[in-house]
Amino acid sequence: MMELQNLIGGEMTNPKSGAWLENVEPATGQVFSRIPRSNAADVDAAVQAAHAAFPGWSSSPLEERAACLRRWGALIARHSEALIAAESQDNGKPVSLARAVDIPRAQKNLEFFAGAVEHFASEAHIPGGAEFIHYTHRKPIGVVGCISPWNLPLYLFTWKIAPALAAGNCVVAKPSEVTPLTAWMLSQWAAEAGFPAGVFNVVHGLGHEAGQALVEHQGVKAVSFTGGTQTGAHIARTTAGMFKKLSLELGGKNPAIVFADCNFDKAVATTIRSSFANQGQICLCSSRILIEDSIYETFRDALVAKAKRIVPGDPSDASTKMGALVSAPHRDKVLKYIGIAKEQGARILCGGVAAPAPNDRCTSGYFVQPTILEGLGPDSSINQEEIFGPVITLQRFSSEADGIALANDSAYGLAATIWTTDAAKAHRVASQVESGIAWINCWLVRDLRTPFGGVKSSGVGREGGVEALRFFTEPQSVCIPTR
Ligand code: NDP
């Protein structure tokens, strides 16, 4: 059986406690590897190693840091077939998705922040005729913690560590214990990419053990976290009195607002994708589909017809479009929500049950049918709580104001999609929707320079481009006389 290790101070190491966790393949329900069950002692060793490496790394020329990131990106490209297979095996996502999205994007994250840091500039304030000039010196923070979730494992892992390292910090990262494989593979190539020992460390383990120890560690000056809202709130409470910098990218309950004047076919096709991509396990997935009255029935019927054609398959099969949910507890959570929806009087238009195993290999896998529900009011827990699976609800609205109000009737505010061919209306609605991201007549189109994050219970702070480099640096205002 494959055995993963931590990367601490440039060495691949076993957990100090000698305890291990089993790692399960979601498509088969079988254990295929084991990972360190790290504790506070492992985290402390990683933080110490990172501190020791910090003076050298933070003062290294930024071209050198950028070159390390680019070489790492090239290593991802060289090993892409192995990474695609590993991501699919570890997460249950189709290989086609890992090939099209996860692995190329992980490479791109490293290359992007190599370039971004080379173009990163800070401000100077030079009042005309004044006797003093002021400039902002953006310094690396020190040792930072990066905690990432299981849904886009390498994609979101690199989205955090790349800007942190580019800005001159040393990193202790904790990938989700549910999907540790590709982060472990990447950690094995850190030295080959040129990172000095201790600059980049990975500690595997449980969130409430290794994750908690990382968040609590006095030597960790900033925490960048992507995960659930409850965990984010817990981390915010834990760090509140410690004055750490905190970036929180949390959950969503994203509306797709479909107006009667939309491009119908494009709106249906993209809503299917935005609802069910990665088995609905993307924080940006649409989960509340809001449809204008006059097209409600035709749009619903078109959506249901397409959803019925999606058959969950073996993720390792190149033709599979929908794979397995990430774990048995997560599958059970999704099915429990469907049960609650039934109790609340929802009509199940398609799905609503576990999907049959696609083949003998997958008889114990975690497959769920794409599910569309209607008949629940906006206050229903199904319309308020994040399910994070292939389950969407349909609601109708009668006017622009009504649609906006329904979209905003949520504790969350991560992403919204707006479907209309009226450009003025599109801008109007986008400006009134409470979300960090609004996609008009498209979904999941990303430019890595744009700010990424949510409002309300979807998080605090922004990632992406300059925002990420600002987060991972501490600005010092310097003032000097001109004579
Ligand atoms: P969790 O909040 O359960 O976990 C996220 C990470 O935090 C994991 O590495 C987890 O470790 C770790 N963790 C858990 N408890 C603690 C703790 N006390 N201290 C420190 N770390 C801890 O989220 P999931 O992994 O279940 O991911 C799904 C969630 O992520 C969804 O809510 C989704 O919306 C959100 N998400 C948000 C995105 C965004 O950009 N806004 C993007 C992608 C996902 P372990 O796995 O070992 O428990």
Q: Is there a contact between 370 and 350 (Cβ–Cβ < 8 Å)?
A: yes
CB of 211 within 6 A of ligand 1: the answer is yes
Q: What is the pLDDT of residue 155?
A: 98
Q: List Cα–Cα distances, 34 to 2, 184, 243, 443, in angstroms.
A: 6, 12, 35, 36
Ligand 1 atom with minimal separation from the 386 CA: 32
Q: List Cα–Cα distances, 2 to 5, 157, 162, 186, in angstroms.
A: 10, 21, 27, 15
CB of 283 within 6 A of ligand 1: the answer is yes
CB of 159 within 6 A of ligand 1: the answer is no
3-state secondary structure 119-181: CCCCCEECCCCCCEEEEEEEEECCEEEEECCCCCHHHHHHHHHHHHHHCCCEEEEECCCCCCH
Q: What is the pLDDT of residue 154?
A: 98
Active site amino acids: 249, 283
CB of 451 within 6 A of ligand 1: the answer is no
CB of 78 within 6 A of ligand 1: the answer is no
Q: In what order do the strands lie in the sheet with 124-125?
A: 124-125, 132-140, 473-481
Sign, Cα dihedral of 295, 299, 300, 302: positive
User: Best of 283, 333, 412, 444 to mutate for ligand 1, by most ligand atoms within 8 A of CB?
Assistant: 283
CA angle 139-141-145, nearest 5°? Answer: 150
Which residue's alpha carbon is nearest to atom 8 within ligand 1?
176
Spacing, Cα 174 to ligand 1 middle (Å) = 10
CB of 227 within 6 A of ligand 1: the answer is yes
Q: How far is 276 from 295, CA to CA, in rounded Å?
A: 22
Give 10-residue mean pLDDT values along the chain (483 residues): 96 97 98 98 98 98 97 98 98 98 98 98 88 96 98 98 98 98 98 98 98 98 98 97 97 98 98 98 98 98 98 98 98 98 98 98 98 98 98 98 98 98 98 98 97 97 96 97 89
Q: Where are the beta strands (DSSP E) in 398-465?
A: 412-413, 415-419, 437-440, 455-456, 459-460
Q: How far is 327 from 281, CA to CA, in rounded Å?
A: 12
CA 2 to centroid of chain Cα atoms: 26
Q: Is there a contact between 4 and 36 (Cβ–Cβ < 8 Å)?
A: yes
Q: How far is 381 from 12, CA to CA, in rounded Å?
A: 45
Ligand 1 atom with minimal separation from the 458 CA: 41
Which residue's alpha carbon is nearest to atom 34 within ligand 1?
251
Spacing, Cα 111 to ligand 1 middle (Å) = 25
Q: List Cα–Cα distances, 467 to 1, 117, 193, 350, in angstroms.
A: 41, 11, 25, 41
Q: Where do the domains of the chain lie, and which CATH numbers do they carry?
A: 2-250+458-481 (3.40.605.10), 254-448 (3.40.309.10)
Q: What is the pLDDT of residue 18?
A: 97
CA angle 414-420-423, nearest 5°? Answer: 95
Spacing, Cα 251 to ligand 1 middle (Å) = 9
